[in-house]
Structure 1
Amino acid sequence: MSSDADEVIGRIKLDPDPGLVKSLGANHTLESAIADLIDNSLDADATHVAVRLLTEGDRLVQVEVVDNGTGMGQNEIDAAMTIGRQRDYAAGDLGHFGMGLKAASFGHGDVLTVWSSKRAGEPQGRRIRRGDYSRDFTCEVLSSGLASQYTVDRERIVRSGIGTTVIWSELRSAYRGNSSDEAQSWLSKRNENLRAHLGVTYHRLLSSNRLSIEVLVAERAEAKDSLGIPVLPVDPFGYRTPGHPAYPKVLVATAGGTEVEMVCHIWPAKSDVTGYRIAGNPGVQYQGFYIYRNDRLLQVGGWSDTAAHTPARQLARIVVDDSDAIGQFLTMNPEKSGLKFEPAFHDAIDKARSSDGTTFLDYIQDAETVFAESNKRRRRRKPVIQPGKGFAPALHKRIGAELSYLHGDSLAMKWTRLPAGEFIDVDFHSKTVWLNSRYRSLFAPGGGRLNDSPMLKSLLFLLTHGVFEGQVLGARDKDEIALWTSVLGAAVVAEEQMRDG
């Protein structure tokens, strides 16, 4: 039998077909594509990035990403526009494939323009059109004079002429209907999703002030003097107290002599805060693995076939923060929107242990137990009359998260004029607790809003709701109401005297 060497009679070089450009960026969302451009900015040591969504008649027509990084000279910008050109990546770089700029851009626009300036050398401009690029990889070299003008614009936008401006035009991924209301709604949702995506993806860099990002949505003709709104960090582990006292806990997965630490967290039950929720979506969607590379979040939840996604596991989140594991045990996709777990890592997770012997399965079961116990506590609570007029929506939502509601009537809390020295009046028939407006300024300095004083009203709801849940007022209920009227009347008079004193 012949060897492999005997079978080889020569070598030929097969250049890529330009037609591959047509499929570039097909899996990129607008959010992930813009994040890919910001990765390039970070690799260029940028500390400030401005994302500009420019419109004409409420339709998105241009996307710009402007940074204050080190910029590019002629050779660097030519390399950046070359498909698949991989530079020498430093250990802390976020770039990986040499495809990011082109894939991110052509996933959403037909024209990519790049303007850049370094501290030394002439400003540079390049443009590639998707149609031309998909035929012969043609790239246009742009006027250095116009590149200089973009240097001036960059100074105004990010307070540094040095840096890079990336522009997408002739957009394909934008609302194309005829309804102005729908166009505005589409744009508002894109803005909301983008801010949430960037907030969670770069939350470590944002919270440590190593990076600032601002997003501007404006009509193109009015954008010159407009300022963007800063993106706030969204920490997916930003709880104050863990849901289980033994966590967070480190499990060590070992494969081929290499150890990978997995920091296992359990969120507190019934959390309803940003960080547990992301982009307005419920926290149940975000259970699973959170994988970081150089403080950039690459995977936002998901079990990657290590466990099933179930409501009972919604409190479980795991941090993997080991750049060396990427490539060996975790394979990153070009969009940096998730990773494939290699079989060796799956096996290592099954055998992972903490210092006290906790296994991955133990951790999952602990998270499920916390969730189950919280549901048991809720089921033991009796249904209550639901809050109605006078209660802020957030308060209504929180009470509903803790207690189930009776069908039918609702309890209102309203301000009205009562005699001096009285604070509340309970009207059983209209299901209303009346509060004395003489003392409203003590609890609602702003005054005048139906849903004011949420702290006061929540306490009164917890105190009084029971008397409205029967068919009639019993002797005990009437005695309770008399007690509340007496004590709260004295309390509000004392409160007023203390404030005046």
Structure 2
Amino acid sequence: MTAFDDVVRRITLAPDAGLVKSLGANHTLESAIADLIDNSIDAGATRVSIRLLTRDDRLVQVEVLDDGHGMDDDVINAAMTIGHQREYNDDDLGHFGMGLKAASFGHSDALTVWSKKEGVGPVGRRIQRADFSRDFTCEVLSTDAAAEHSASRMTILGSERGTSVVWTDVRNTYRGRNPDEARSWLATCNQALRSHLGVTFHRLLTDGRLKVDVLVDELEEALASPGEPILPIDPFGYASSGHPRYPKVLIAKAGETRVELTCHVWPAKADVTGFRIGGMPGEAFQGFFIYRNDRLLQMGGWSNTANPGPARQLARVVLEDSTAIGSFLTMNPEKSGLKFEPIFHDAINHAAASDGTSFIEYLQDAESIYTDARKRRRQRKPVIMPDKGFAPTIRRRIGAELQFIEDDPIQIKWRRMEAGEFFDIDFAAKTLWLNSLYRSLFAPNGGSLNDAPVLKALMFLLTHHVFEGRHLGAKDKDEIALWKSILGAAVVAEENMRNK
């Protein structure tokens, strides 16, 4: 008897509506909104406006508006159907037919979609999560209401055509009573969203194929205009490579399939946006960056092909061969990472560049750049830590180049002194004072706590060692008097030259 001889008939088993309760469980707010933007891009949109609307600083509604092709009755019904998979083109970002529903129900209890297609009347549909999880019920909304939302898109994006996705009854939000905590939660949420979208769609944002903005405002007072634009964050945006022989392409082979791995080495002690992403250090983003149709699907991680560690933080590998997805790689529904199949692990282990460089040799090259930089750092004498008055980027850069001694940090401040004096040192208070009489020379657009970064960096390099002793010795006092004399004359000359 063969394996098929025992079949007597076929029946169709419809999915249980209860599966709706688990939809989107693994979506963050950032990944969910990115999934909606994928749909907008597939619909031909070039502009997307995201609106985080609040009541008393609590997030209550999320809107994603686009100027894409829009939908008619048949298309919007299909879009609201769970698991419906349209015919995908090779360059589409959609993949599973679950994105809209999973992204929405992961964060809200009501999903409303308004859309307008060229030459067709506007349409609207709403799914209540509670109803949908019982019987897949979808509400058909009035044409008049759909027309109002088309008019709103026209005001915000300059196009009646397009689609508006609206989440109400938002679940994942701050619900405490402390207003400061609420505002802090919202600010963190906004920043995380901007960072995630900036790196996920950085290629499309950079070349102008896509413009995205985010507006955060009270629901009843929200402006009918776009918000602040999302700026691209390029995870490979270094000025020059950290290693003279990279980037380098390694070829991973499995049978007749070949995949290119473009291996990069960031410069040592990098401290720029792109190396750091979303406030997290660059070390968190070592590993594979996987693209599909210029959309970033995986943001770092070695996926068990290598062990992460501080010494490998400069190593990042680009994989953008879409043919690898499905054969070597399996994409999760949230598009927030990929599973590396065993055949791909084997292919990477045997990957090589045209000059014979292997994957493990690439990792060793990246480690050597990091290790050499650390050796140079350890040979320098530790210094006192800079604190208030120094811009955060300056503090981080000093920390990247020099180790700090165990002592109270120094701060740099402005105060009024006599004309002809440029600075003073308060050793006991660990404070370097600058004469505010000359502040406008170095901060012409108005002063702030972290103004005049070049001046302050130079003054730190000049004077830090006098704060590092237990007291001011005779040599320290003589140096300070010398600096005061020369810099006092220099700042007067600077002022006279600028006033001519």
Q: Which shows bigger deviation, 173-182 or 107-116?
A: 173-182
| Paired letter, 2:314 | L
Residue by residue, what CA displacement relative to the aligned partner does 1:424-461 show, whole Å, maximum 9, x if unpaired? 45565665545445543322324554543221121122
- Please name the residue that 1:454 is paired with: 453
- Please name the residue that 2:160 is paired with: 161
Q: Which shows bigger deviation, 306-315 or 7-16?
A: 7-16
Task: State the Cα distance separating 1:295 from its structure 2 match.
Answer: 0.5
Secondary structure of the 1:260 match is strand
- Please name the residue that 1:275 is paired with: 274
Structure 1 residues 9 and 416: alpha-carbon distance in aligned structure 2, compared to 1, 3 A threshold? closer
Task: State the Cα distance separating 1:281 from its structure 2 match.
Answer: 1.3
Structure 1 residues 319 and 436: alpha-carbon distance in aligned structure 2, compared to 1, 3 A threshold? same
- Please name the residue that 2:288 is paired with: 289
Asked if structure 1 preserves the Cα contact closer than 8 Å seen for 2:385 and 2:408, the reply is yes
Distance in 2 separating the partners of 1:58 and 1:474: 55
Residue by residue, what CA displacement relative to the aligned partner does 1:166-213 show, whole Å, maximum 9, x if unpaired? 111122222222333322222222111111111111011111111111
- Please name the residue that 1:3 is paired with: 2
| Paired letter, 2:322 | S
Distance in 2 separating the partners of 1:296 and 1:260: 18
Asked if structure 2 preserves the Cα contact closer than 8 Å seen for 1:218 and 1:226, the reply is no
| Paired letter, 2:84 | R
Q: Quick check: 1:187 aligned with 2:180?
A: no
Task: State the Cα distance separating 1:282 from its structure 2 match.
Answer: 1.5
Distance in 2 separating the partners of 1:459 and 1:258: 56
Q: Which shows bigger deviation, 160-169 or 215-224?
A: 215-224
Distance in 1 separating the partners of 2:87 and 2:225: 37
- Please name the residue that 2:32 is paired with: 33
- Please name the residue that 1:407 is paired with: 406
Q: Which shows bigger deviation, 475-484 or 135-144?
A: 475-484
- Please name the residue that 1:86 is paired with: 85
Asked if structure 2 preserves the Cα contact closer than 8 Å seen for 1:71 and 1:116, the reply is yes
Secondary structure of the 1:165 match is strand
1:183-262 equivalence runs, <5 A: 183-225=182-224, 227-262=226-261
Q: Quick check: 1:132 aligned with 2:127?
A: no
Secondary structure of the 1:345 match is helix
- Please name the residue that 1:16 is paired with: 15
1:99-138 equivalence runs, <5 A: 99-138=98-137
Q: Quick check: 1:464 aligned with 2:463?
A: yes
Distance in 1 separating the partners of 2:311 and 2:117: 53
Asked if structure 2 preserves the Cα contact closer than 8 Å seen for 1:250 and 1:262, the reply is yes
Secondary structure of the 2:145 match is helix
- Please name the residue that 2:339 is paired with: 340
- Please name the residue that 1:356 is paired with: 355
Task: State the Cα distance separating 1:283 from its structure 2 match.
Answer: 1.5
Structure 1 residues 279 and 415: alpha-carbon distance in aligned structure 2, compared to 1, 3 A threshold? closer
Distance in 2 separating the partners of 1:315 and 1:218: 39
Which consecutive residues of structure 1, in runs of 5 or more, have no partner in the other structure?
Answer: none
Residue by residue, what CA displacement relative to the aligned partner does 1:368-399 show, whole Å, maximum 9, x if unpaired? 11222222121111111233554334423332
Distance in 1 separating the partners of 2:429 and 2:73: 77
Which consecutive residues of structure 2, in runs of 5 or more, have no partner in the other structure?
Answer: none
Distance in 1 separating the partners of 2:207 and 2:113: 29
Distance in 2 separating the partners of 1:426 and 1:222: 51
Distance in 1 separating the partners of 2:121 and 2:45: 20
Structure 1 residues 439 and 130: alpha-carbon distance in aligned structure 2, compared to 1, 3 A threshold? closer
Structure 1 residues 39 and 405: alpha-carbon distance in aligned structure 2, compared to 1, 3 A threshold? same
Secondary structure of the 2:406 match is strand
Distance in 1 separating the partners of 2:444 and 2:386: 23
Task: State the Cα distance separating 1:471 from its structure 2 match.
Answer: 4.2
Secondary structure of the 1:252 match is strand
Q: Which shows bigger deviation, 332-341 or 414-423?
A: 414-423
Task: State the Cα distance separating 1:417 from its structure 2 match.
Answer: 5.8
Distance in 1 separating the partners of 2:448 and 2:188: 29
Task: State the Cα distance separating 1:269 from its structure 2 match.
Answer: 1.8
Distance in 2 separating the partners of 1:490 and 1:240: 38
Structure 1 residues 384 and 95: alpha-carbon distance in aligned structure 2, compared to 1, 3 A threshold? same
- Please name the residue that 1:325 is paired with: 324
Task: State the Cα distance separating 1:489 from its structure 2 match.
Answer: 4.2
Asked if structure 1 preserves the Cα contact closer than 8 Å seen for 2:152 and 2:224, the reply is no
Residue by residue, what CA displacement relative to the aligned partner does 1:39-92 show, whole Å, maximum 9, x if unpaired? 000000000011111112222111111100000011111111111111111111
Asked if structure 1 preserves the Cα contact closer than 8 Å seen for 2:157 and 2:226, the reply is no
Task: State the Cα distance separating 1:423 from its structure 2 match.
Answer: 3.9
- Please name the residue that 1:366 is paired with: 365
Structure 1 residues 104 and 386: alpha-carbon distance in aligned structure 2, compared to 1, 3 A threshold? closer
Give the TM-score normalised by the residue count of structure 2: 0.94
Structure 1 residues 410 and 187: alpha-carbon distance in aligned structure 2, compared to 1, 3 A threshold? closer
Structure 1 residues 18 and 351: alpha-carbon distance in aligned structure 2, compared to 1, 3 A threshold? same
Q: Quick check: 1:315 aligned with 2:293?
A: no
Task: State the Cα distance separating 1:359 from its structure 2 match.
Answer: 0.8
| Paired letter, 1:99 | M
Distance in 2 separating the partners of 1:298 and 1:15: 31
Distance in 1 separating the partners of 2:164 and 2:107: 17
Task: State the Cα distance separating 1:407 from its structure 2 match.
Answer: 2.7
Distance in 1 separating the partners of 2:374 and 2:496: 44
Instruction: Provide the aligned C-alpha RMSD in A.
Output: 2.2
Asked if structure 2 preserves the Cα contact closer than 8 Å seen for 1:117 and 1:124, the reply is yes
Distance in 2 separating the partners of 1:137 and 1:212: 34
Q: Which shows bigger deviation, 485-494 or 158-167?
A: 485-494
Secondary structure of the 1:496 match is helix
Q: Which shows bigger deviation, 14-23 or 437-446?
A: 437-446
Task: State the Cα distance separating 1:323 from its structure 2 match.
Answer: 1.1
Q: Which shows bigger deviation, 294-303 or 239-248?
A: 239-248
Asked if structure 1 preserves the Cα contact closer than 8 Å seen for 2:155 and 2:225, the reply is no
Secondary structure of the 1:384 match is coil
- Please name the residue that 2:55 is paired with: 56
| Paired letter, 1:52 | R
Secondary structure of the 2:274 match is coil
Asked if structure 1 preserves the Cα contact closer than 8 Å seen for 2:440 and 2:447, the reply is no
Task: State the Cα distance separating 1:33 from its structure 2 match.
Answer: 0.9
| Paired letter, 1:268 | P
Taking every aligned residue pair, what percent have the same amino acid on both sides? Answer: 65
Structure 1 residues 448 and 259: alpha-carbon distance in aligned structure 2, compared to 1, 3 A threshold? closer
Q: Quick check: 1:152 aligned with 2:151?
A: yes
Q: Which shows bigger deviation, 457-466 or 480-489?
A: 480-489
Distance in 2 separating the partners of 1:291 and 1:337: 10
Structure 1 residues 99 and 390: alpha-carbon distance in aligned structure 2, compared to 1, 3 A threshold? closer
Distance in 2 separating the partners of 1:405 and 1:216: 41
Secondary structure of the 1:234 match is coil
Distance in 1 separating the partners of 2:414 and 2:268: 35
Asked if structure 1 preserves the Cα contact closer than 8 Å seen for 2:42 and 2:92, the reply is yes
Secondary structure of the 2:48 match is strand
Task: State the Cα distance separating 1:469 from its structure 2 match.
Answer: 2.7
Distance in 1 separating the partners of 2:324 and 2:170: 37
Aligned length: 500
Asked if structure 1 preserves the Cα contact closer than 8 Å seen for 2:390 and 2:450, the reply is yes
Give the TM-score normalised by the residue count of structure 1: 0.94
